[in-house]
């Protein structure tokens, strides 16, 4: 159910396209909160799409939400398919299975790169999150 909704709305959200062109789903993430920024990306079915998260290590979580809840897409599961090495990541299905929230908290005092992967089911929509952990401001 997730794939048809994303693919049907893609031309409306991405502008005019040729009928024969492949158009990725809507631009993600829908929202970001916490001491961070998350680079925008498009979903592709059965593939993992990279994005970059820059997060200040304040002890607070960086959280981003994917999939527009108004699309009424159904997400059966959000799986952490590769854990980060220097923090904790947690994907969760929210809003009646219409959206996914992904949270990441770096290990205390850690500064440097990290990485994790999340897969959404059905259709194996993946997100590879390349993390850049920076020191907290003033720290």
Helix (H) or strand (E) holding 31: strand 31-33
Q: Residue 14: its pLDDT value, please?
A: 36
In a domain, 10, yes or no: no
3-class state of residue 77 by DSSP: strand
Instruction: Name the DSSP letter for residue 67.
Output: S
Find the CATH number of the domain harbouring 84.
Answer: 2.60.40
- In tens digits, what is the pLDDT along the chain, a chain of 139 residues? 555 444 433 333 333 333 333 344 578 999 999 999 999 998 877 888 999 999 999 999 999 999 988 887 899 999 999 999 999 999 999 999 999 999 999 999 999 999 999 999 998 899 999 999 999 986 5
Instruction: Name the DSSP letter for residue 123.
Output: T
In a domain, 74, yes or no: yes
| CA pair distance 119, 112, nearest whole angstrom | 24
| CA pair distance 120, 91, nearest whole angstrom | 9
In a domain, 109, yes or no: yes
In a domain, 3, yes or no: no
For residues 133 and 104, the answer to whether their CB atoms sit within 8 Å is: no
| CA pair distance 42, 13, nearest whole angstrom | 11
In a domain, 70, yes or no: yes
What total of structural domains would you count in the chain? 1
Q: Residue 119: its pLDDT value, please?
A: 95
In a domain, 17, yes or no: no
| CA pair distance 119, 84, nearest whole angstrom | 14
Range(s) of the domain holding residue 67: 28-135
| CA pair distance 78, 66, nearest whole angstrom | 11
In a domain, 84, yes or no: yes
In a domain, 44, yes or no: yes
In sequence order, what are the residues at sequence separation of 6 or more whose Cβ sits closer than 8 angstroms to the Cβ of residue 26? 6, 9, 10, 13, 14, 42, 43, 67, 68, 71
The whole model's pTM is what? 0.81
Number of other residues whose CB lies within 10 A of the CB of residue 109: 12
């Amino acid at each position: 159910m997730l794939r048809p909704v994303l693919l049907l709305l893609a031309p409306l959200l991405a502008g005019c396209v040729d009928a024969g062109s492949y158009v990725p789903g809507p631009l993600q993430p829908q929202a970001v909160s916490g001491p961070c920024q998350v680079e925008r990306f498009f979903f592709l079915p059965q593939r993992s799409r990279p994005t970059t998260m820059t997060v200040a290590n304040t002890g607070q979580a960086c959280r981003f939400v994917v999939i527009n809840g108004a699309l009424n897409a159904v997400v059966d599961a959000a799986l952490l398919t590769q854990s980060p090495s220097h923090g904790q990541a947690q994907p969760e299905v929210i809003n009646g299975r219409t959206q996914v929230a992904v949270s990441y908290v770096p290990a205390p005092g850690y500064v440097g790169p990290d990485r994790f992967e999340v897969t959404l089911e059905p259709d194996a929509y993946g997100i590879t999150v390349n993390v850049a952990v920076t020191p907290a401001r003033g720290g």
